[in-house]
Amino acid sequence: MEIVEGKHDKPILENVAFTPHVYEIHGNIYYMHCSDETQEHSRKFYKSPTVPEAREFSAKEGKTLIPMCKECGATMKPHCMFFDETYSEHYYRAETLHDFEEKIDCMVVIGTALETTKAKTMVIRALKAETIPVIEVNMESSIGNGNNI
């Protein structure tokens, strides 16, 4: 393994990994950070290499692209929640999401099977309110409530 040089070695602004009013509660694979989350520098987000960039690197160098942290040498972690992780404010905006959830007018659920407690609980609360429209965009319905197309 090696530290990958190039455009992935400069951190992007910390809040760039997030889009205002879009809460990707399980992260976003287009970003990554140091996997050693005990280190302060792991709070910096970096742009993930694209598939073509990884293929180009592999073809040129003859090895698999594994982005490494420039500061400590640990592997970089995709900015997406793994099953053994818990929600945090910094990585997944847990408190911000909770505060925002109190004020929503509509909920759009995209690309989840609602197998995690956080996602399922949010949808159930919105459905029980009966005043908040819930729109699901999935290949197969996970909510099973309302009209499905």
Could you tell me the domains of the chain? 7-86 (3.30.1600)
What integer is the mean pLDDT of 62-79? 88
* Residue 36 pLDDT class (50, 70, 90 cuts): very high
Least confident of 14-18, 51-55, 63-67: 14-18
| pLDDT at site 19 | 66
Residue 53 corresponds to which tokens in the numbers above? 């960039």
Return the DSSP state at 13.
Answer: P
Comparing 28 with 19, which gets the higher pLDDT?
A: 28
Nearest to 45 by CA among 71, 86, 16: 16
Residue 110 corresponds to which tokens in the numbers above? 């995209």
Helix ranges, the chain (H): 51-61, 89-92, 94-101, 117-129
* Residue 35 pLDDT class (50, 70, 90 cuts): very high
| Adjacent-strand bridge partners of 32 | 46, 78
Whole-model pTM above 0.85?
no
Integer Cα distance of 124 and 116 in angstroms: 12
What integer is the mean pLDDT of 110-125? 83
